[in-house]
Structure 1
Amino acid sequence: MEEFRSEVAVAFAFLVEDVGFAGPEPTEHGVRFRSADLEIGVWYLSGHEPEVSTRVTPAASDAPRTRGVWLDDLYVFSGCGPAQDVPGSATTWRATLKRVHQHAAALRRLMPRLVGAEGSRLIARCRQE
């Protein structure tokens, strides 16, 4: 898990360096980045079908965690590209590394739409779809 967290820290460094997020903070299954408006969780879920998952959640104190959306859904909803740009399946270490970088690239593309209050509204609209 430490190798995964290290790879995520490198791939998602733009969140800290360019956008002002804090993190990465270790979590049970990966890492989390936080800003005043958003929380980004990147997880490696092992098991029968291992996968990399990224969840984007508004950081408002009254918003339960379930109000977040998966990156692939938000990416498609926002018109950034197809869900294939954000695959999850990670059956090998090489595939896991590739997925981490694909998720980071998708989030980087999406990030201008997520900054400020507009991001929370976009997430809310995505959840309603």
Structure 2
Amino acid sequence: MGNRRDLAEAFRAEVGVEFAFLVEDAGFSGPEQTGNGLLFHGVGLDVEVWFLDGHEPEVTTLLAPVASDGVRARGVWLDKLYVVSGCGPAQDVPGSAPTRRATLKRVHQHAAALRRLMPRLLTAEGSQLMARCRRG
């Protein structure tokens, strides 16, 4: 149990470092700890990074639009949004995290993918991309 707790702490620390660009460059607040990860709040967008430590451990990132009244819409997975936006293949945003090293590497890969996608997300194109992902 101690190893899992240590991994969860290492995961949260790595997310805090790798996703710091959201706070430093994009005006997000956070991170806020959730049950399985960390949540960043932006104007019109929430980004939540999870470590799901089950039978097949994985790292996953959800982007959810937030209306001006604070209502959060259904989110879109980063890997799907990354592909739909034309940033690259889903393999750039893998989720499988069977080891500590793989878990921390996935955090880095998800942050890199989101960094590449952010310029599109912060424009009108971002909401169109998210809508396309939710439809398909």
**TM-score with structure 2 setting the length:** 0.89
1:19 to 12, 26, 31: 26
Mark the runs of 5 or more structure 2 residues left unpaired by the alignment: 1-7
Counterpart in 1 of 2:131?
Answer: 124
Distance in 2 separating the partners of 1:48 and 1:41: 21
Shift of 1:59: 1.2
Q: What are the residue-to-residue correspondences of 1:29-40 with 2, within 5 Å? A: 29-40=36-47
Distance in 1 separating the partners of 2:63 and 2:71: 16
Number of residue pairs aligned between Structure 1 and Structure 2: 127
Pick the structure with greater CA Rg: 2
Distance in 1 separating the partners of 2:23 and 2:102: 25
Distance in 2 separating the partners of 1:108 and 1:82: 15
Distance in 1 separating the partners of 2:106 and 2:35: 19
Counterpart in 2 of 1:57?
Answer: 64
Mark the runs of 5 or more structure 1 residues left unpaired by the alignment: none
Distance in 2 separating the partners of 1:10 and 1:16: 10
The amino acid that maps onto 2:108 is H
Corresponding position: 1:72 with 2:85: no
Corresponding position: 1:81 with 2:88: yes
The amino acid that maps onto 2:56 is E
**TM-score with structure 1 setting the length:** 0.94
Counterpart in 2 of 1:4?
Answer: 11
Shift of 1:12: 0.4
1:42 to 40, 49, 54: 49
Shift of 1:116: 4.0
